[in-house]
Structure 1
Amino acid sequence: KVASPVGTLIGQLLFGWLADIVGRKRMYGVELMIIIIATFAQAVSGHASAISIIAVLVMWRFLMGVGVGGDYPLSAVISSEFASTRTRGRLMTAVFSAQGWGQFTAAVVGAIVVRAFKSEIESQSSANPMAVDTCWRLIIGLGAVPGVIALYYRLTIPETPRFTMDIERNIHQAAQDVDTFLTTGTFVVDPDAVVQRAQAPRASRRDFFNYFGKWENGKVLLGTSYSWFALDIAFYGLGLNNSVILNAIGFGNPSKSLTQGFAVYENLINICIGNMILSAAGLIPGYYATMLFIDWWGRKPIQLMGFIMLTIIFSIMGFAYNILVNHNKGAFIFLYCMANFFQNFGPNTTTFIIPGEAFPTRYRSTGHGISAATGKLGAIIAQVGFSRLVGNGNVRYHFHFIHLPASDLLLFQFIKHILEIFALFMLTGVFSTLLLPETKGR
């Protein structure tokens, strides 16, 4: 689990920096090729006497994470630099919403594959390891298919006009690229703006520290980075606890009366269906709520509102945990879905958008990469730190509770305190958001 986010953190920093040096277009294809190769390699990994399959998977998942990390700053910056200020927020939100649809589609594909191998999985009193092994390889391998399709388009798009004009100083080519890409036949360049951009400082280490060394610029990077960090503590921490919610709504562990083969099948299909429900109930609607309001209300108000609502929701879930799970599971599920909704109709989307708009062209991708990498550090803390916190409580179960029956969850109090910690981080996100400018229309 940790290999992917560590690789993602490195990829966000590396590709964010490279995209400001050699261009967005070149790196956009490279990082996707890394994702495709690493994903396919996971699907065909095997065990050998010299190395275990776990070690091989860790290596490939780390490399996949590097590619995924590069996709964060590049997708944000490219969509930002191609869009008009009037519709930029909606376009960037549409790009980011593909993440939610990807999660939903992965659950659908998982359910289809598991259902296709139902008879093989259930065929014996003990689970058929060959059938389960085939299932996970197919599910992971099929994840490379959309990437292969997208690769053609990434390799054929032009360089962003902002990079061509501001960094390469080729104004004529920038205009021609926009003309070709949008097929409008016209492109108007403000002569005064051209002079100003042509004389803008070039990126360098000294200029980077001079620029961000000024409080009015440095506070923006601090605000985008910490806001993403605070969000990912809860966003990934909450994702780790999906199995708790799935148990509560009847899509968790199988009945103990089932034989092992039937139990394995029921567990796998329940996880897939449950994840579809959670995605459709909270994650996906949140993206489209943001899409409706982002260019009207603005980025900063949505992020503030989201952090405030998440502070309230996590406080209720944490401080009233025993009451909710004991007496009103429906309310707990509703609050969980609302947390997912206000993450996406809130900071999960805006932390992706604001860094793509707030920084000058020469540091836009680097600034976005630093912000995203800081957020991924929060995800790593959520995955490693909280699981250690649980382990220090003399409880044998892992943080994700996969092997806990629902009745035993009430005996386990660490989730209550973890939700309270999430609420605290959401409150700090309110204050870091105050450091940010409103980037709507800039």
Structure 2
Amino acid sequence: MAREQLQVLNALDVAKTQWYHFTAIVIAGMGFFTDAYDLFCISLVTKLLGRIYYHVDDYPKPGTLPPGVAAAVNGVAFVGTIAGQLFFGWLGDKMGRKRVYGMTLMIMVICSIGSGLSFSKNPKAVMATLCFFRFWLGFGIGGDYPLSATIMSEYANKKTRGAFIASVFAMQGFGILAGGVFAIIVSASFKASFPAPAYEDNALGSTVDQADYVWRIILMFGAIPAAMTYYWRMKMPETARYTALVAKNAQQAASDMAKVLHVEIEVEQDKVEKTKDFGLFSREFLRRHGVHLLGTTSTWFLLDIAFYSSNLFQKDIFTAVGWLPHAETMNAIEEVYKIARAQTLIALCSTVPGYWFTVAFIDRIGRFKIQLMGFFFMTVFMFALAIPYDHWTHRKNRIGFVVMYSLTFFFSNFGPNATTFVVPAEIFPARLRSTCHGISAACGKAGAMVGAFGFLYAAQNQDKSKTDKGYPPGIGVKNSLIVLGVVNFLGMMFTFLVPEANGKSLEEMSQENVEEEEMESRPEDSRAVLV
């Protein structure tokens, strides 16, 4: 039979929505605002970097980053993110969520500033320094994923837990939007400050001196929201679930939550001592949660292939269908302005609304249905763009392409991009919750790397003149969209491995309140509480 719930945990589960819930959302959410800004702002300036540092005839295509350099600049942060998710996820379960939480922000502040201070007269040295700081920036960002999700899930009540965790992740949409808006402001300011005749020279690499400031300012701005959040993160108490179930200090857990909830909570140390511990690589974990971990890792991996491919290379897709002018018709700063404007429009009309639709409906219709629906519509819209691709490239049909493309972003965010973040924070035991979320998130970023590197090469135009200049042959944008459609379909299939956590307590989902004798008599529960 189920073990009786600790009073302190039950108080959290049934607590009414209070001010501390919103405080926790803002504190954790500002980290995700910064994460998204830092990860996606690089896509706004990669073409600018090519114009500034590779504008001479010594390179395969003057004014464009060589494929290997572009892949490194876009993808190195993901390598760091994977390392950070695994390391800080594990550390959050060993040292506690709060003790590790401030470390990630400080790394992000230092490395955001360092990215913008990548100085040298040698293009290779600038790119190497930028990649160094982008790696460690990603390392700090990676730690934010498991810690923010775990902290929010352990603070929340079970009735609105999904909405609270999704709200933290929804701040990613505002971070993407802020990146576009800030890039518009900076590029427009420089554009106005350096008028004709120099500015009207549309040659590749024009206005180099001024453009060199633009990308540095855009990258360094990410340090500001991270620095503003540090103090409040340090003021948060440790979560009661970590203190009681992992550190096994019922008195401290009751004391901390009594201050937060403003209620009297009984200390139940004897119940805490009865909780059973098992490790990540134990047969017990495999029996209880092996299928769940496969579900969360596979769906996040597949989702991020499609999501990051689409986000990081919007500019290439929009140029291919003619919605953005070719680089040769614009000078350096103007190109940043137009790319940022296009990406901001997509974020404002589809990305941000999609996140908040998830917040509104996740505790009403459940995680499973939202994730399945999102993958389904992403599959449909990718195929709808790819199969009649030649139709969309005609000038009169470009708006239709942009609308359809925007809908893939809407349903990724009102779908698996949000739920893959929420579910791993709910279904694993407290002693392994941060670790398992970090593993799931790291698999997602591995998918992002596949998307970042794979799409960069795959979407190269099948143009012999480009391959002659050193670019590898690609499969083209059309076939790349077909591949992404297949990836989304596979995500839909793997969703059936993910359990539904709607309305259940964390202990019920993780089976921490189930006696060992009952588990042994019900071996089929290795896939417990499936949909």
Shift of 1:51: 7.4
The residue type paired with residue 141 of structure 2 is: V
Which letter maps to 2:440? S
Q: Size of the alignment, in residue pairs?
A: 418
Report the Cα distance in structure 1 between the residues aligned to 2:445 and 2:119, rounded to whole angstroms.
29
Match of 1:271 in 2: 339
Match of 2:229 among 130, 147, 150: 150
Query: Within the alignment, does 1:47 sit opposite 2:124 as a pair?
Result: no
Are residues 1:440 and 2:487 paired?
no
User: Structure 2-normalised TM-score?
Assistant: 0.74
1:289-304 correspondence to structure 2 within 5 Å: 289-304=357-372
Distance in 1 separating the partners of 2:139 and 2:367: 28
Aligned residue number for residue 144 of structure 2: 71
Task: Kindly state the Cα deviation for residue 246 of structure 1 after the two structures are TM-superposed.
Answer: 3.9
8 Å CA contact retained: 1:318, 1:419: yes
Q: Does residue 236 in structure 1 map to residue 304 in structure 2? A: no
Q: Contact between 2:322 and 2:393, CA under 8 Å: does it hold in 1?
A: no
1:364 aligns with 2:436: no
CA-to-aligned-CA distance 1:313-353 (integer Å, 9 cap, x gap): 11111112112222522221111111000000000000000
Are residue 213 (structure 1) and residue 286 (structure 2) matched? yes
Structure 1 residue 431 corresponds to structure 2 residue 503? no
Aligned-partner SS, 1:275: helix
The answer for the alignment partner of 1:336 in structure 2 is: 405
Deviations 1:190-237 (A, max 9, x none): 96xx75553223354xx63323322x4100000000000110110011
Contact 2:98–2:234 under 8 Å retained in 1? yes
Number of the residue aligned with 1:401: none
Identify if the C-alpha distance between structure 1 residues 301 and 32 changes in structure 2 by more than 3 Å, giving closer, same or farther.
same
CA distance in 1, matches of 2:460, 2:339: 24
- Residue of structure 2 in register with 1:325 after alignment: 393
Question: Of residues 71, 90, 97 in structure 1, which corresponds to 2:170?
Answer: 97
Offset of 1:241 from its aligned partner? 2.8
Letter in 1 for 2:311: G
Deviates more, 1:72-81 or 1:308-317: 308-317
Is the partner of 1:45 in helix, strand or coil?
coil
Pairs within 5 Å for 1:157-172:
157-172=236-251
Query: Could you tell me which amino acid in structure 1 is paired with residue 313 of structure 2?
Result: N
Q: Which residue of 1 aligns with 2:131?
A: 58
Which of 247, 266, 276 is matched with 1:201 structurally? 276
Cα distance in 2 for residues equivalent to 1:267 and 1:440: 45
Unaligned runs of 5+ in 1: 399-411
- Output the amino acid matched with 2:431: R
- 2:186 corresponding residue in structure 1: 113
Kept in 2: contact 1:12–1:66 (CA 8 A): yes
Q: Does 1:22 align with 2:91?
A: no
Residues 138-196 of structure 1 deviation map (CA, whole Å, 9 limit, x = unaligned): 1111110000001111111111111011111111211221232x3x32154696xx755
SS of the aligned residue for 1:117 comes to helix
Calculate percent identity across the aligned residue pairs: 36
Work out the CA distance in 2 between the residues paired with 1:346 and 1:319: 23
CA distance in 2, matches of 1:416, 1:246: 12
Across the aligned residues of Structure 1 and Structure 2, the Cα RMSD in angstroms comes to 2.4
Instruction: Answer whether contact 1:107 1:276 (CA < 8 A) is retained.
Output: yes
How far the C-alpha of 1:97 sits from its partner, in A, is 0.8
Aligned to 1:358, the other structure's residue is in SS state: coil
Q: 8 Å contact 1:303–1:346 — kept in the other structure? A: yes
Distance 1:197 1:43, change over 3 A: same
Partner of 2:208: 129
- Between 1:360-369 and 1:379-388, the stretch displaced more is 379-388
1:340 partner amino acid: F
Q: 1:89 to 1:18 in 2, by over 3 A?
A: same
Cα distance in 2 for partners of 1:189, 1:427 equals 49
Deviation at 1:122, TM superposition (A): 4.1
Q: Counterpart in 2 of 1:408? A: none
Q: Distance in 2 between matches of 1:357 and 1:252?
A: 46
Equivalent residue, structure 2, for 1:186: 263
Report the counterpart of residue 402 of structure 1 in structure 2: none
Whole-angstrom CA distance in 2 between matches of 1:395 and 1:212: 53
Q: Return the alpha-carbon distance in structure 2 between the equivalents of residues 277 and 298 of structure 1.
A: 29
Shift of the alpha carbon at 1:385? 2.4
**Structure 1 residues 397 and 148, CA, compared in 2 at 3 Å: closer, same or farther?**
farther
Structure 2, gaps ≥5 residues long? 1-73, 468-473, 505-531
Report the residue type matching 2:93 in the other structure: D
Distance (Å, rounded) in 1 between the aligned partners of 2:209 and 2:384: 45
The aligned counterpart of 2:512 is: none
Give the partner amino acid of 2:306.
Answer: A
**2:389–2:478: 8 Å Cα contact kept in structure 1?**
yes
Find the counterpart in structure 1 of residue 58 from structure 2: none
User: Which of 187, 200, 219 does residue 140 from structure 1 map onto?
Assistant: 219
- Alpha-carbon offset, residue 266 of structure 1: 2.2
